[in-house]
Amino acid sequence: MTRSVIVTGGFGALGRVAADAFIEQGYAVACIDYAPAAKSALPGALDIGGIDLTDGEKTKNALAQIVAAHGGIDVLVNVAGGFVWDKLAGGDLGNWSRMQAMNLTTAATITQLALPHLTAAREGRIVNIGAGAAIKAGAGMGAYAAAKSGVHRLTEALAEELIGTSVTVNAILPSIIDTPTNRADMPDADFAQWVQPSTIADVILFLASKASRGISGALIPVTRNG
């Protein structure tokens, strides 16, 4: 039976690569994104744009559309998020709530609403994208790191909640991901040391698979280019 996967932030650099990897493995793939439309079509994917994942009703409607098309939800991959660099001294305090909403509230909202479908699946899987930078925050990284640390705690707490079910919950903690946006923001960096989206996608696929059934509540660093 074809397994159904949702990738949030599915129109972005990492989300698109992950979605494509799932399609190659024969999954029924749905991509949800805040952007109104993807820059390019991904054959075989159900793209749902214009969804604010902090809005419960809009998220619920998107999930209903996916369940109607794919028959259920087996895997949820929470890629949606955002980044801002801003020091506290003289900075914009609004960035703290903004990072919380983009990185943590989005994941919590769709996860809560998708749980009935995930727990009904034979092998439910939740994969969150955390951040290596949330382990120890550098200057200007406070708002982002605090939000991603929340994703880590969400992962651990939910894994405990779901003991006794088929659902596992894990998070991937990448170092800097090699994306066009990151290259533009850090033009003098050594890109060769950054992690490729395809490398992260490989780990996502493993955590979505039956082979990962013994792992839950893990925070898995992905730091090598591979």
- pTM for the model stands at 0.96
Chain-centroid distance of CA 37 in Å reads: 18
Which structural domain, as residue segments, surrounds residue 49?
Answer: 4-222
Mean pLDDT calculated for residue range 171-182: 86
CB atoms < 10 A from the CB of 33, how many?
23
Joined together, the tokens standing for residue 124 give 């439910």
CATH number at 81 reads 3.40.50.720
- Taking the C-alpha atoms of residue 92 and residue 76, their distance in angstroms, rounded to an integer, is 32
pLDDT in tens, 61-118: 999 999 999 999 999 999 999 999 999 999 999 999 999 999 999 999 999 999 999 9
Per-position b or e across 136-147, b if 16+ CB within 10 A of its CB:
ebeeebbbbbbb
Mean pLDDT calculated for residue range 182-197: 82
The percent of residues above 70 in pLDDT, for the chain, comes to 100
- Taking the C-alpha atoms of residue 86 and residue 123, their distance in angstroms, rounded to an integer, is 40
The structural domain count of the chain equals 1
Does the structure show a pLDDT above 70 at 226?
no
| Cβ neighbourhood burial of 94 (10 Å; 0-12, 13-18, 19+) | exposed
pLDDT in tens, 114-145: 999 999 999 999 999 999 999 999 999 999 99
pLDDT in tens, 29-65: 999 999 999 999 999 999 999 999 999 999 999 999 9
Question: If pLDDT is split at 50, 70 and 90, which confidence band does 186 have?
Answer: confident
Contact 151, 129 (CB under 8 A): yes
